[in-house]
Amino acid sequence: MDDSAASVPPLAPERPDPGQSDPGQSDSRQSDSRQPDSGRNGPGRRALSTRDWLRALWRTWLRMDERNLGLISAGVAFFAFLSLFPAISAVIAIWGYWADPVVISEQMEIVREMMPEQAYVLLSEQVTALISTNRSTLQWASIISIMVAIWSTRASVAALIRGLNTVSDTPHRENVIRRLLVAVALTILLVIVALVAFAAVVILPAAFSFLGLPLHLELIASTLKWLILLGVVFFAIALLYRYGPNRRSSRMRWFTPGAVLALLAWAAGSFALTLYVRNFDRLNEVYGSLGAVVALLLWFYVSALVTLLGAQLNGELDRLRRDRPDRS
């Protein structure tokens, strides 16, 4: 028995289970999973060189064609045009409950320099026609106008959200109801932002005039109207960047380089389009009575395109920071 026991070969060393990972690797993976998501912290966490910024801008330009941002912007412009006049009706009806709707027509001058003249005339005529409508009729129609406006504007916001998902490399929301609710919620928030901004633009000059302040203070009030308008545009863009893309556990910061780029590009693009239509006007010759509609669609197109380009810049800066080694 001793000889048989001695002939038994020694046991082989125990092999680790293939499904069981090394403790050191497990710790490293857990630490990697705890790293803050770039979308949550947003651009600006690691310093980038001037070359990196130029590379991000160049990549943003290239991605515009690769990801069909122009085509997406055209869809947004189409739905925005469909929702414009119901939205104007709703705003005038709501405003009429608290103040004289004629004030809206008077304060529209603030946007005259920021859109083509034909587009402004088209909007102004529609506002004048709605204001001249019987007030009780307008208020009775306000509920229908608000519902139609929110539903129509929801389509343009949904198209913009789809574009933001494309540039952010995030999948679209599979749940149709959730997708609809997000678009409607963002639409309502944007309408509220617009109403608050319009109220501020109207109340500020009226308050200065009522107080009888000197001329230089009235000039300051006039300048503040422009600053309020730009601030509202920036906040609306930041709102879309933060809550538009399908990010469940991460949110973009409120202040991002892409939002700044979108704001500056929107102001420059609107001004350039206005100058072009004013000085090299061929729209009426080519499109006839539809020239104003075409001008308004172009303005919506530029606004949607710069919004998507700003989001694309945020994405490119994010990728550069992820690929760049941490030198700290």
Stretch 279-301: mean pLDDT: 74
42 φ, ψ (degrees, to nearest 5) = 75, 175
Rg of the chain over CA atoms, in angstroms?
28
Task: Fill in the DSSP letter of residue 289.
Answer: G
Full-prediction pTM beyond 0.85?
no
Greater confidence (10 vs 98) lies with: 98
What confidence tier does 34 reach under pLDDT thresholds 50, 70, 90? very low
Q: What pLDDT shows up at residue 172?
A: 72
Q: What pLDDT shows up at residue 96?
A: 62
Q: What pLDDT shows up at residue 17?
A: 47
> Are 229 and 213 within 8 A, CB to CB?
no
Q: What is the mean pLDDT of the chain?
A: 70
CA distance 85 to 63: 33
Q: What pLDDT shows up at residue 132?
A: 66
Task: Fill in the DSSP letter of residue 171.
Answer: P
pLDDT at 244 over 50: yes
pLDDT tens per residue, range 115-155: 666 677 777 777 777 666 655 555 555 667 677 767 777 87
Q: What pLDDT shows up at residue 229?
A: 77
Q: Count the Cβ atoms, other than its own, within 10 Å of residue 188.
A: 15
Rounded to the nearest 10°, the torsion over CA 61, 67, 70, 76 is: -130
Based on the number of CB atoms within 10 Å of its own CB, is 200 exposed (0-12), middle (13-18) or buried (19 or more)? middle
In the chain, % of residues over pLDDT 90:
1
Cα dist from 328 to 31, 46, 166, 324, whole Å: 18, 10, 32, 12
Burial 157-168 (b: 16+ CB within 10 A, else e): bbbbbbbbbbbb
What confidence tier does 3 reach under pLDDT thresholds 50, 70, 90? very low
Task: Fill in the DSSP letter of residue 244.
Answer: S
Q: What pLDDT shows up at residue 30?
A: 39
Return all residues near 243 (Cβ < 8 A) that are at least 6 apart.
182, 185, 186, 251
- At 143, list the tokens: 């509920």
Q: Count the Cβ atoms, other than its own, within 10 Å of residue 30.
A: 9
- At 27, list the tokens: 């710790």
State CA 59 to chain mean position distance: 20
CA distance 143 to 95: 13
Lowest mean pLDDT segment, chosen from 107-116, 184-193, 299-308: 107-116
Greater confidence (134 vs 33) lies with: 134
Stretch 151-178: mean pLDDT: 78
SS3 state of residue 118: helix
Greater confidence (313 vs 151) lies with: 313
